[in-house]
Structure 1
């Protein structure tokens, strides 16, 4: 995808080279998500959304997510590319992470493969890992991108780059 440079034996992607409109790319990397002390998801079948100046957002198939930990939340949001997002709280016992997960039940035709798959806000989780590497959440609070050593910024939402906010 775009221009790359060697990085720890891997090709390092540059977020500035990601397309607009975004691309949807399958990944076989091991994705692990923990929330409220529980394993929320583990998958080698994520779909990455790659959008200009955003770190990848990983969407996980429902079979690889502990759906019993999710409860529908109020409110929706609209993405010009993917359509109407629905939100979920992560609930373990009496503890709750409000609107920490989202999904597109009926995405636009270009993103039909995402239907019913789930994405998480890494900043709200106990941790997210990509092939064992801890993920740094995309800055800005609104975004769900996964920053790792595999992708080079700058990234939208980073206060050090106000031109991208």
Structure 2
């Protein structure tokens, strides 16, 4: 099941929210900074112990002061226009979902990974995100995963509505 909302991902009550992190996992701009601020200093401390994350991969921490029980940190690609960008972005969604399943989680919320400071074109990113999530859900029906695609702004929400309708 996939649903879309427009709002602040740090306020969602789900098993895990996904953080569009940088390779250090030590906080940054946009959604990454907002998640670290809302979760509090304990999140940063746990992230230090993870020793970073490769682009396309995902790691999990507790949610601390967030309503979400966990944060799944994934590092999207910095957009360069190469086909590798799309593959890495798809991997972010697939690896985050698989990590949620491995940890027996059943609800997850994604931001628009790589579309902010990393410059990935929002329309293409939405296409990749929805295709990856739909494929994963088809391949993992026993996971009973509820996926929320959280748009921060109206333009992204509109893109998400078009993708969900496909």
Give the TM-score category using the shorter length. under 0.3
Greater percentage in helix = 2
User: Higher relative CO (CA 8 A, sep ≥ 6), structure 1 or 2?
Assistant: 2
Q: TM-score, normalising length from structure 1?
A: 0.27
Greater percentage in strand = 1
Q: TM-score, normalising length from structure 2?
A: 0.27
